[in-house]
Amino acid sequence: MVIWRITDSKPGHEKQTLGLAHALLRSRAGECFDIPAPSRGASLLQWIQGRFPAGNGLAKPDIILAAGHATHFALLAARRAFGGKFGGKAVALMKPSLPLSLFDLCVIPEHDNPPARDNIIPIRGVLNDVRTSTTATPEQGLILIGGISSHYRWDDARAAAAVTEIALANPKIAWQLTTSRRTPATFLAALPRPLPDNLKLMPHDQTGPGWLEHALAGAGQVWVTEDSVSMLYEALTAGAGVGLLRLPGSRDSRVRRGVEKLLADGWVTPFEAWKSGQTLTPPARIFNEAERISSLIIEKWFKNPAAKHSRSA
């Protein structure tokens, strides 16, 4: 299998396409080529002209992945130049701004209310590159702190008090707390001093590439602030028992509706329920959307090895 990944250098988009590419390549041997998207104007012109110079010299693709509005014209240009009836399927992650019928497949979050169509697969949340852990232990815990968001009202004192209560209530768990780029500088100062002995701070600017994935692999319990949607789905994918640190909502939004559905379906435990005695337990079912979507794509286009061979010929 040959995968082209059209990239726009945005970390969130990169995680999504990388997660699906890796899941596909675990199912079928192959390789993935990363191609930075040309400008939207250049990509539109290339699509109209039926060419995509960035793909010259590369193995022809079976699947072309992209996420983000800046990549859509490049995705369509690559499909027109190197795709066709037997290969180069254009797969857009997240809801495109262009007509959905232009793409071979659109992988769209449920909270965006995608229409029921043959070329649309709804997903829970967003894809990621986390794998279900086999090494998590109950003695390790992780607390993931977000920050300023258009969907919630951030509250330093509320988040800091919850973190302290969690650490003190679980003295046998070694907790690591990390922040994000959106976390206000005032949050760490709001944590009471001295810190609980079992709580270690790891601000995001002190962590390196792969730190979060490694920490998730070892954590039996993970707490996430409600605004940190990507980290919430990463924790669920890792298979940890996931607790939700709730924040006041600033407005109704698709992001908030997605989190509320996770609560309604029992995937996460709200902080208030935990305080009332509910425990954090691992999900009863595997939560791995990248693997699920990969399986559906394989079933849709690559189930017959002979057909795959004819595409690559």
Which pLDDT does position 70 carry in this prediction? 96
Instruction: Name which of 305, 304, 301, 290 is nearest 63 in CA terms.
Output: 301
What DSSP character marks residue 205? G
d(CA 291, CA 127): 9
Residue where the block lists tokens 């041997």: 29
d(CA 100, CA 95): 8
d(CA 141, CA 139): 7
Burial of 52 (0-12, 13-18, 19+ CB in 10 A): buried
Which pLDDT does position 67 carry in this prediction? 97
Domains 2-129+289-312 and 137-275 share a fold: yes
Cα distances from 81 to residues 96, 120, 155, in angstroms, run 20, 23, 50
β pairing state of 199-202 and 63-67: unpaired
CATH domain 2-129+289-312 topology = Rossmann fold (3.40.50)
- Superfamily for domain range 137-275: Glycogen Phosphorylase B; (3.40.50.2000)
Q: Are 209 and 18 in contact (CB under 8 A)?
A: no
185, two tokens: 């500088």
CB atoms within 10 A of CB 145: 27
d(CA 252, CA 239): 29
d(CA 125, CA 15): 13
d(CA 310, CA 250): 53
Amino acid in position 287: F
Where along the chain do its domains lie? Answer: 2-129+289-312, 137-275
The partner residues of 142 in beta bridges, in order of sequence, read 176, 222
User: How does pLDDT run along the chain (313 residues), one tens digit per residue?
Assistant: 999 999 999 988 999 999 999 999 999 999 999 999 999 999 999 999 999 999 999 999 999 999 999 999 999 999 999 986 667 999 999 999 999 999 999 999 998 889 999 999 999 988 999 999 999 999 999 999 999 988 889 999 999 999 999 999 999 999 999 999 999 999 999 999 999 999 999 999 999 888 999 999 999 999 999 999 899 999 999 999 999 999 987 667 788 888 988 999 999 999 999 999 999 988 888 999 999 999 999 999 988 654 444 343 3
CB atoms within 10 A of CB 254: 13
Burial of 306 (0-12, 13-18, 19+ CB in 10 A): exposed
Q: Are 4 and 35 in contact (CB under 8 A)?
A: yes
Q: Are 202 and 178 in contact (CB under 8 A)?
A: yes
